[in-house]
Amino acid sequence: MIRGIYTSASGMILNQKLMDLTANNIANVSTTGFKRDIAQVESFRRMMTYRIYDDSSNSIDNAIGYMSLGADVSRIVSDFSQGLYIKTDEPLNLAIRGSGFFAVEKVDPQTGQVQVYYTRNGAFTLNSNGELVTLEGFRVLGQNGRIVLQNQGKIRIDEQGNIYQDGRFVDRLRLVDFQDKTLLRKIGNNLFEADAQSQQIAFSGRVLQGYLEGSNVNSVQEMVNMINVLRAYEANQKAFIAQDETLQKAVNEIARK
Partner 1 sequence: MMRALYSAALGMKAQQTNVDIISNNLANVNTTAFKKDKAEFKDLLYETLSRADVIAGDGKPVSLQIGHGVTISAITKSFSEGNLERTENPLDLAIQGEGFFVVSTPNGPRYTRDGSFKVSNVDGQIKLVTSDGYPVLAEGDTEIVLPETAISSITIDETGRITYKDAEGRVQDSGLKIKIVRFLNPQGLLAEGKNLYAVSAASGDPVSEEEIEGPKSRILQGFLEMSNVQVVDEMVKLIIAQRAYEINSKAIQTADDMLSMANNLKR
Report the interface residues with partner 1, using CB under 8 A: 12, 15-17, 19-24, 26-32, 34, 37, 73-77, 88-90, 121, 123, 125-128, 130, 135-136, 151-153, 166, 182-183, 185-190, 195, 197, 219, 222-223, 226-227, 229-230, 233-234, 237, 240-241, 244
Write the single-letter amino acid at 61.
D
Q: In DSSP terms, which residues pair with 191 in a beta bridge?
A: 119, 188
As measured in angstroms, the least distance from the Cβ of 14 to partner 1 is: 12
As measured in angstroms, the least distance from the Cβ of 84 to partner 1 is: 11
As measured in angstroms, the least distance from the Cβ of 76 to partner 1 is: 5
- Please choose, from the candidates 222, 166, 243, the residue with its C-alpha nearest in 3D space to the C-alpha of residue 29: 222
As measured in angstroms, the least distance from the Cβ of 67 to partner 1 is: 21
Q: Please, which residue, 30 or 56, has the CB nearer to partner 1?
A: 30
Q: Is 100 in contact with 175 (CB distance < 8 Å)?
A: yes
CA-CA distance, 58 to 65, in Å (whole number)? Answer: 16
Q: Is 225 in contact with 18 (CB distance < 8 Å)?
A: yes
Q: Please, which residue, 24 or 82, has the CB nearer to partner 1?
A: 24
As measured in angstroms, the least distance from the Cβ of 40 to partner 1 is: 9
Annotate 125-154 with three-state secondary structure: EECCCCEEEECCCCEEEECCEECECCCCCC
Q: Please, which residue, 45 or 256, has the CB nearer to partner 1?
A: 45
Q: In DSSP terms, which residues pair with 186 in a beta bridge?
A: 192
